[in-house]
Structure 1
Amino acid sequence: MPGHLHSEFLQTNANHCARAQDLLMQGLVGIVAPPAGRQRLSLRERGAGYVAANWGEVVLIGVYFSPNRNLSQFERFLDGLEPVVQRASPAQVIVMGDLNAKCAEWGSSITDAKGALLRDWATVIGLAPENQGTAYTCVRGRGGSVVDVTFATPAIGARITCWRVLEEVETLSDHLYIRFRVSNAPCGR
């Protein structure tokens, strides 16, 4: 479609790897907004394990939850994250990050307790997973997992296309990059 604009996102977790963080700081990762939109990121709020930013009419929320923390701590984390999503209303919201929760709804071969809790939490607050396929988002010597998730509210979710794990790109981390586009108008997947 002529004049059809979109923005590309690259989601990643450098996992405390200094070399991976250096790679990111070289400008190989960023949020690119179309010149016509001139959308800039501005800090909205931040807290333990999350940061929220305004991006035009959308609120982007980046999240991280350590795999070393237990299920009750995860539940408390989600309880604290819920008002962050609610405060963004009526804006559309994209939540993305490494939550160390496995669920079939976002491509994992298993659903663990954290994954079931996260799936139910997201459904209740109106977020849907945008992950496509079953490619591992985290790859280690003994295998991999799908623990990096992208969620969105319905209107912005309808504009997310081309979600994929970049398996061929070196990240210097055990987490792979995830790329997706957000179109200016809803479109089919």
Structure 2
Amino acid sequence: MPLKSNSSYIAACKIFTTDGWITLTSVYIPPTVKRKEIITSLTHLIRTSTATDQEQIICCGDFNGRSTQWGDEKTNANGLQVEEMLEANQLVPVNHGKHPTFSAVRSGVLHKSIVDLTCVSPNLLAQSHDWKVRADSSTTSDHYAITFELSVKYKFTAFDSTKVFKQIPKSWRNFENIATQKLDSVHRARECSVEILAARYTRAATETADYTIRKSQKQMSRKCFWKNSTIVALDRRINALRRSISVCSNSERRDSLRKRLTELRSEVSSHIKEAKLKSWRDYTKQLDASKTWDPVNKWLKNSSVIQSQCLTDSENKFLSAADSGMLLLNTFFLMIRNITIVLNIL
């Protein structure tokens, strides 16, 4: 499916595979003119096409930028510009080796460089392999042909299956023998309602399976309610940076990437802390204060409690039982109580 681009230097389309949609782009960025304009258009196209999909991207082309990050012997200003663009769009070069992708004789001088890149999103990196410069192929250009392979075979993950038990014949025979005895005992029990009988049958089967059959490691993961789009985006940037560091051969550039990685990790830790606090408070706001915290408040007010069981304020001074009870209400029910003391007790 073709995609519309606002630059004549970019061609793009979407390809449907068993792993979902993949955005494929081909770009030419001249050495001098229109570089910023084309990079802006490419960034807009990538972000627009991945706004609703799983961000599976392949970006190929002549970027006219040299960098040791993708195997060139040096890094120039254009290369740094391309590096920044790739990091901003979470793309990782899959170029392998140091064979030049461009070779031409100009004014009697042989020029060689690696300016042609094949970049993929982090979720396609493990599926991309066998990247090669075809120096023996015949082309009408001063750039060599490039090939690489992408595996798109569908694989089950922890999020794809609710399978709990392994299907081992021996285990299932043990299950059948023991379950038969348990279910017979349930059947011989005193007559009861259909609901109770169904619950007993279910419990007997589940207990037998837990005892006789090995569990599968691939079970559906629980939803992370506090994880927001900002944290997801930061995690992807961290993964992209880690891969960039692993393939970067320039020590100075690698140190710069590691410094940025440390900053991003600190930033994501801060966002996680805030997201967890917000998620918990949003949950407690939905609770009925009179049924949940008022009994705790009454207990603290009317019971004789020792000081160590009370809460502390921002100066680590113990509060009275009454103030501790009010603090619980004021902290967890910010919308319906007047805040008298500000303290994060999570």
TM-score by length of structure 1 reads 0.71
Aligned to 1:163: 131
Matching residue's letter, 1:52: A
Aligned partner (choices 42, 46, 67) of residue 103 of structure 1? 67
Task: Answer yes or no: is the 8 Å Cα contact 1:97–1:149 preserved in 2.
Answer: yes
On the 8 A contact 1:159/1:185 being kept in 2, the answer is: no
Q: In the alignment, is the contact (CA less than 8 A) between 1:51 and 1:62 conserved in 2?
A: yes
Task: Determine the structure 2 residue equivalent to 1:132.
Answer: 96
Greater helix share, 1 or 2? 2
| Equivalent residue number for residue 143 of structure 1 | 111
Residue 43 (structure 1) aligns with: 2
Alignment-derived partner of residue 148 in structure 2:
180
Q: Give the Cα separation in 2 of the matches to 1:123 and 1:68.
A: 21
* 2:31 and 2:78 in contact (8 A); partners too: no
Report Cα offsets for 1:114-140 as digits up to 9, x if no partner: 111111111121111111111111111
SS at match of 1:173: coil
What is the aligned-residue identity percentage? 25
Could you tell me which amino acid in structure 1 is paired with residue 138 of structure 2? Answer: E
Amino acid at match of 1:49: Y
Which ranges of structure 2 fall in alignment gaps of 5 or more residues?
A: 155-346
Q: Does 1:87 align with 2:73?
A: no
> Structure 2 CA distance, aligned partners of 1:81 and 1:88?
11
**Which of 113, 124, 129 is the matching residue for 2:77?**
113
Residue 14 (structure 2) pairs with residue 54 (structure 1): yes
> SS at 1:133's partner residue?
coil
Residues 17-36 of structure 1 aligned to structure 2 (within 5 Å): none
Question: Which string of whole-angstrom CA distances, capped at 9 and with x for unpartnered residues, describes residues 87-108 of structure 1?
Answer: 1212411010001111111111
Structure-1 separation of matches of 2:129 and 2:120: 12
CA distance in 2, matches of 1:174, 1:45: 28
1:185 deviation in Å? Answer: 4.3
Counterpart amino acid of residue 114 in structure 2: V
- Larger Rg, first or second structure (1 or 2): 2
Question: Which has more strand, going by share of residues?
Answer: 1
- SS class of match (1:110): coil
What residue in structure 2 maps to residue 63 of structure 1? Answer: 27
CA–CA separation in structure 1 for the residues paired with 2:138 and 2:71: 21
Q: Measure the CA separation in 2 of the matches of 1:110 and 1:52.
A: 30
Deviating 4+ runs (over 3 angstroms) = none
The one-letter code of the counterpart of 1:136 is P
Shift, 1:48, TM fit? 2.6
Q: 1:74 aligns with which of 26, 32, 35?
A: 35
Q: Given residue 63 of structure 1, which amino acid in structure 2 is its aligned partner?
A: V
Between the aligned partners of 1:45 and 1:170, the Cα distance in structure 2 is 31
